[in-house]
Amino acid sequence: MARILVADDASFMRQMIREIVEAQGHEVVGEASDGDEVVEEFKRLHPDVVTMDIVMPRRSGIDAVKSIIELDRKACIVMCSALGQESLVKEALAAGARDFIVKPFKPDAVVATLSKVVEKPE
Amino acid sequence: MDLAKYRAIFVEEAAENFAEMGRALLALEKNPGDAESIDTVFRMAHSVKGMAASLDYGTISELAHRLEDRMHTVRDRGRVSPGEESALLFRGLEALEGMLEAVKSGSQPPPGDASLLAALRAPLATDAVAPLAAEAAAAPAKAPVAPLAGAAQAPTALRSASVSVPGPSSTVRVQAGVLDRFLSTVGEVILCTSQVRTAASDGRADGGPFEEGLDRMERVVGELQRRALDLRTTPILRIVEPLPRAAREIARRAGKQVEVVLAGAELELDRSILDRLSDPLVHLVRNAVDHGIEPPAQRRASGKPEAGRIAIEARREKGHVCIEVRDDGAGIDLDRLRARAVELGMLHPDLAADLTPAQAAALVFRAGLSTAREVTEVSGRGVGMDAVRATVEALGGDVEIETQRGRGTTTRLRVPITAAVQRVLLVSVGGETLALPIAKVERILETPASAVEQSGSDAFTLVDGELVPVLELASLLKLDPPPRDALRVLVLAEVRGDRVALGAARVLGQQQIYVKPVPELLAGVRALAGFTILGDGRPVFLLDPNQVA
């Protein structure tokens, strides 16, 4: 089971992701509420997966992806996007994000995406 | 998934998002190109959209989405266009807040205002080619009228219905650092415990390391208590933040201009106190705009700037926080206020003339005056001022008002910083132990019973040459009367600003108590401000002297 770092500026969303992934037996090892914090927490916790919101204060999710990939080329990041953010998702994938899930989250979709990235390490 | 739990989180978090959005919109009104504020409004709308969509609040997520898109355009353009666009964004925020109110009260959010949604989508003339703009401008006219009216009324109706629904205030957001410090103190408690345990198992429970361990434990637990109380405090900003916007809105409707300045909003107060101060403050600001600030023309004529100024200022005063609402408006017409009080039979004409200006101004706190609607200027000040006073006094605070004709009015609320721990005087009355807040006690008198003079049903005694009414706690609370001793114990206390001697059987001492809310069954008894359990397990009620008499 994976160790997951959840980044979202809304605690509502963090809690929702936590509940979904914990029900699958994954462990949420940390939470971050802005783009700077997620990079710091990544350095500290070395999680297996990061779920990354795109719109966050201080540093956007995309810039955070770039910083994390710079630290660890193999980092596994899943973007959390909303409808209408397709171009940003593409940008994030180009920057090294592994996959994406779309808000509002459907638990099944989150679980499926996570197992996909966890089982298929690059 | 536990939807009720997520709904509560949503209500709290969205309210914070809206507050931040409001602050950013105000900043943009002053500086339309402030990139950080533009980004904040965008981000908050985006965040609310995501949360609302997760809970299937389609109308909220739709409106938030439109607002987000609009901010996207604004961001590309680099600035909010002042006037119309700024007002539109405020309207959007207000509509979102109305919808949140509905969610808070447990119902589905009302449908979005079609004209608002269309207006948010319509680009500014400068953003698009002319024909497009023209088409967009025509769009609102096509919107059906019915949902418009419904949307405008629903939030208000729901707002008043939402009173009894438990709000989200039972959750507390705490910074991680605060919890870390908390945990490290708990660690110390564990250390002390093991120190005591070791000393006890060595059979040396009679001194040295054992006593030391206990001393240390007492100190650390005291520290824990202080930290726990800190968790209960929150910046005043939380309740004053919406006031500038509220004032602006009230002023707009009244055709007035007003500028609101906040100061000291970073000061912290106990949450339970803060939450209850919100309504009184809104009320004071409303009064200041409605009845204090003059219309622009009148202000110009009297040599004032056209925009009125309201300052909301908080400052710390030894165990209290004082929050002042100060306007530079017309002030209260004290002569009319006096006349009105006489007319209503609240005041004898001779007395009315003798009132000092301060005493006359304090008449606004009298309950009866609040219904005097026909004298608008005066009554306006009076509406609910008695409620303001009652609320503040119930919190262990007080309120005063100062006014100067033509110069403005200042209302000052003083409340204790923490409500939870209070120093009290324990007295015995009719076999019961009661607690009185020490802050209200001036001193304790032991006087010969003969020094209490009976005059009809009233009793008086002479203190420092001043006649002070004596109130028997036993008879007020319908307990057994005190024994007919030669000496009487009287607690000289301040009751609604006046000195009063409260008769008790015995004084038991002073103590620091943790005040718990009055159990629900007794919540209707206004004289009880709270209760506590003493060290020996006995429950003791804390009296609110203001409500006893």
3-state secondary structure B333-401: CHHHHHHHHHHCCCCCHHHHHHCCHHHHHHHHHCHHHHHCCCCHHHHHHHCCHHHHHHHHHHCCCEEEE
Chain A, nearest residue to B6 by Cα: A12
What pLDDT sits at residue B381?
43
Best-predicted range by mean pLDDT (B103-107, B153-157, B480-484): B103-107
C-beta separation of B55 from B107 below 8 A = no
What pLDDT sits at residue B161?
29
CB contact under 8 A, A15 and B49: no
| pLDDT, average across residues B310-331 | 89
pLDDT class of B343 with cuts at 50, 70, 90: confident
Q: Global pTM?
A: 0.46
| pLDDT, average across residues B288-312 | 93
Chain B, nearest residue to A15 by Cα: B6
CB contact under 8 A, B9 and A82: no
Tell me how far CA of residue B322 lies from CA of A47, B233, B268, in angstroms.
48, 15, 11
Cα(B438)–Cα(B424) distance, integer angstroms: 5
> Is pLDDT at B138 greater than 60 in this prediction?
no
Cα(B269)–Cα(B251) distance, integer angstroms: 29
B320: number of Cβ within 10 Å: 18
> Is pLDDT at B283 greater than 90 in this prediction?
no
CB contact under 8 A, B54 and A105: yes
Angle (CA) B191-B196-B197 rounded to 5° is 95
Task: Please name the amino acid found at residue B523.
Answer: A
Higher pLDDT, B144 or B433: B433
Chain A, nearest residue to B58 by Cα: A104
Phi first, then psi, for residue B138 (nearest 5°) are: -75, -25
DSSP A75: -
pLDDT class of B300 with cuts at 50, 70, 90: very high
Best-predicted range by mean pLDDT (B137-141, B188-192, B203-207, B269-273): B188-192
What pLDDT sits at residue B134?
38
What pLDDT sits at residue B404?
92
Tell me how far CA of residue B280 lies from CA of A8, B399, B474, in angstroms.
36, 11, 33
B105-119, B132-146, B386-400: least confident range: B132-146
> Is pLDDT at B150 greater than 50 in this prediction?
no
Cα(B262)–Cα(B260) distance, integer angstroms: 7
What pLDDT sits at residue A70?
93
Average pLDDT over all residues of chain B: 79
What pLDDT sits at residue A121?
52
> Is pLDDT at A122 greater than 60 in this prediction?
no
> Is pLDDT at B412 greater than 90 in this prediction?
yes
Phi first, then psi, for residue B253 (nearest 5°) are: -65, -30
- Closest chain A C-alpha to B273 CA, distance in angstroms: 26
Residues B352-372 have pLDDT tens digits of 888 888 888 888 887 666 433
B30-39, B149-158, B418-427: least confident range: B149-158
| pLDDT, average across residues B388-392 | 82
Residue numbers in A near B53 (CB within 8 A): 82, 103-104
Cα(B308)–Cα(B330) distance, integer angstroms: 10
- Closest chain B C-alpha to A104 CA, distance in angstroms: 5
Residue numbers in A near B1 (CB within 8 A): 16, 19, 107
pLDDT class of B144 with cuts at 50, 70, 90: very low
What pLDDT sits at residue B18?
92
Average pLDDT over all residues of chain A: 89
Question: In the structure encoding, which two tokens stand for residue A45, read together?
Answer: 């916790």
CB contact under 8 A, B43 and A55: yes
User: Is B46 part of the contact surface with chain A (CB cutoff 8 Å)?
Assistant: yes
> Is pLDDT at B128 greater than 60 in this prediction?
no
Beta-carbon contacts of B174 under 8 Å, excluding residues fewer than 6 positions away, are B231
Residue numbers in A near B173 (CB within 8 A): 11
Higher pLDDT, B484 or B365: B365
> Is pLDDT at B376 greater than 50 in this prediction?
no
What pLDDT sits at residue B205?
58
Cα(B88)–Cα(B224) distance, integer angstroms: 49
Interface test with B, best of A12, A14, A31, A63 (most B CBs within 10 A): A12
Cα(B43)–Cα(B34) distance, integer angstroms: 14
What pLDDT sits at residue B242?
84
Angle (CA) B419-B424-B429 rounded to 5° is 125
CB contact under 8 A, A16 and B54: yes
What pLDDT sits at residue B133?
38
What pLDDT sits at residue B238?
82
| pLDDT, average across residues B446-463 | 85
Residues A16-51 have pLDDT tens digits of 999 999 988 899 999 999 999 999 999 999 999 999
CB contact under 8 A, A82 and B42: no
What pLDDT sits at residue B173?
64
| Boundaries of every domain in chain A | 3-119
* Angle of helix B271-287 versus helix B243-253 axis, rounded to 10: 20
C-beta separation of B413 from B391 below 8 A = no
Interface test with A, best of B3, B38, B47 (most A CBs within 10 A): B47
What pLDDT sits at residue A39?
95
pLDDT class of B458 with cuts at 50, 70, 90: confident
Phi first, then psi, for residue B528 (nearest 5°) are: -95, 120
Higher pLDDT, B316 or B409: B409
Superfamily of domain A3-119: Response regulator (3.40.50.2300)
Cα(B345)–Cα(B366) distance, integer angstroms: 12
* Angle of helix B271-287 versus helix B385-394 axis, rounded to 10: 160
Chain A, nearest residue to B37 by Cα: A57
CB contact under 8 A, B42 and A19: no
Residues B60-82 have pLDDT tens digits of 999 999 999 899 888 888 888 87
Q: Percent of chain B beyond pLDDT 70?
A: 81
Residue B471, CA atoms < 13 Å, CB-side half-sphere = 19
Residue numbers in B near A104 (CB within 8 A): 50, 53-54, 56
pLDDT class of B329 with cuts at 50, 70, 90: very high
Q: Model ipTM?
A: 0.83
What pLDDT sits at residue B318?
67
pLDDT class of B141 with cuts at 50, 70, 90: very low
> Is pLDDT at B284 greater than 50 in this prediction?
yes
Higher pLDDT, B189 or B228: B189
Residues B494-536 have pLDDT tens digits of 887 788 999 988 898 887 776 766 766 776 677 787 777 776 6
Q: Percent of chain A beyond pLDDT 90?
A: 57
User: Is A58 part of the contact surface with chain B (CB cutoff 8 Å)?
Assistant: no
HEC profile for B263-287? Answer: ECCCCEEEHHHHHHHHHHHHHHHHH
